[in-house]
Structure 1
Amino acid sequence: MKTTKLTLTLWTFITCLSFGVFAKPAGKAKAQTATPTEVSYLAGGCFWGMEELLRKLPGVTRIEVGYMGGKIPNATYNIVHTGTSNHAETVKVEFNPQQLSYENLLLYFFKIHDPTTLNRQGNDIGTQYRSAIFYTSDVQKETAHRVIARVDKSKAWGKPVTTVVEKAGEFWNAEEEHQDYLQKNPEGYTCHFVRKVEF
């Protein structure tokens, strides 16, 4: 009888070891590292075309269109399109700086719109269509001025850049019909395309 109990106890102990019953408790799992994100606000004419080209840039993680740079709160398209509120049609670009640097984002920005036409982009005329970079930090501000100087120095556009650099203010999301407009309307209006210019 004693031999049977000893055998059973030994068998139970070995089984517990096999299934890790006596194993030391595992430490806390390492927290997953969140994807780094930076935000940029860019204006360069009608936001439909800007949004569609910027969304295709590797490293861009989210994109929205809206209004920035004006003095009137709760900006809407009906107000902004009159040109009286001083808002610019703006694209909010969230991107992964490990995949896409802010400098390279701006260099691409200067290839998809004409930064030399003051308050105008193609057939769209008015302050709401101005070329502007709204910075969110001193680093973005310095980078914006450096990139503009580089673009000007290259003379790729043949005329001086008129892009303004302003501190980002309140961003008012555009109405739902303006979000992803060219995704919903592939034949919709746009005056934006990637130019073969080198800086």
Structure 2
Amino acid sequence: MPQSVFPLATLAGGCFWCLEAAFEQLEGVVSVLPGYMGGHLPCPNYEAVCRGDSGHAEVVQLAYDPALIDYETLLAAFFTIHDPTTLNRQGHDVGSQYRSAIFYHDAAQQAMAEAMIARLNGEGYWPSPIVTEVVPAGTFFEAEEYHHAYFRRNPYQGYCLAVVAPKAAKLRQAFADRLKPG
């Protein structure tokens, strides 16, 4: 990805199709790219990541306009649309590639992520403790083209109907006042 003039947020919370479909709805999110981060392979691809031994997580990398949406709101959306209490799992998607992780790009993002996790745990927002990793962003590897806009291109595919659509709908409901026009 070319250097963005906008700040970046990189998040992992299960299948990147779900995260992309949810975050692209938010006003101020300029772009959402599916990809991989956090592993040891020098050039990961979907097949290698799906094996579960590459160390990479499926992620989305968001470029956002801080005049329209702040990092804290992105984190709030992130914690709304996935279950951050299950280690290496989101529903039927199991493996470290589906872990919950926040890959921070600077100290402010790290502090905000850690503070939000502490606050949500303290409030008992979830019935179990949050296991989301908060780790420095590494190299972002953009996913193969067929993963881009997957839900928009395949809304009636089984996984999209059963898993992606409900997460996108949950974001629309929880963040109705923050959605892009139209």
TM-score (norm 1): 0.78
CA–CA distance in structure 2, aligned partners of residues 36 and 151 of structure 1: 31
CA–CA distance in structure 2, aligned partners of residues 68 and 115 of structure 1: 18
Pair 1:37-2:6 in alignment: yes
Output one character per residue of 1:149-185: Cα deviation in whole Å (capped at 9) or x when no partner. 1111221211100000010000101001111100110
Map 1:17-96 to 2 at 5 A.
37-96=6-65
Contact between 1:70 and 1:88, CA under 8 Å: does it hold in 2?
yes
1:27 is aligned to none
Q: Which amino acid aligns with 2:15?
A: C
Output one character per residue of 1:122-144: Cα deviation in whole Å (capped at 9) or x when no partner. 10000000000000001111011
1:116 is aligned to 85
CA–CA distance in structure 2, aligned partners of residues 111 and 75 of structure 1: 28
1:139 is aligned to 108
Query: Structure 1 pair 124/137, CA: closer, same or farther in 2 (3 Å)?
Result: same
- Greater RCO structure (CA 8 Å; 6+ sep): 2
1:176 is aligned to 145
Q: Which amino acid aligns with 2:23?
A: L
More helix by share: 2
CA–CA distance in structure 1, aligned partners of residues 43 and 150 of structure 2: 21
CA–CA distance in structure 2, aligned partners of residues 37 and 153 of structure 1: 32
Contact between 1:36 and 1:98, CA under 8 Å: does it hold in 2?
no
CA–CA distance in structure 2, aligned partners of residues 73 and 180 of structure 1: 25
Output one character per residue of 1:23-62: Cα deviation in whole Å (capped at 9) or x when no partner. xxxxxxxxxxxx9621000000000011000000111011
TM-score (norm 2): 0.85
SS in structure 2 at match of 1:147: helix
Q: Which amino acid aligns with 1:147?
A: M
Give the number of equivalent residue pairs: 163
> Could you tell me the percent identity over the aligned residues?
45
Q: CA RMSD in A?
A: 1.6
Structure showing greater radius of gyration is 1
CA–CA distance in structure 1, aligned partners of residues 108 and 135 of structure 2: 13
Q: Which amino acid aligns with 1:123?
A: H
SS in structure 2 at match of 1:66: strand
Map 1:150-189 to 2 at 5 A.
150-188=119-157, 189=159
Offset of 1:98 from its aligned partner?
A: 1.3
CA–CA distance in structure 2, aligned partners of residues 120 and 183 of structure 1: 24
CA–CA distance in structure 2, aligned partners of residues 118 and 124 of structure 1: 11
Output one character per residue of 1:73-130: Cα deviation in whole Å (capped at 9) or x when no partner. 1110010000010100000001011111101110110000000011000100000000
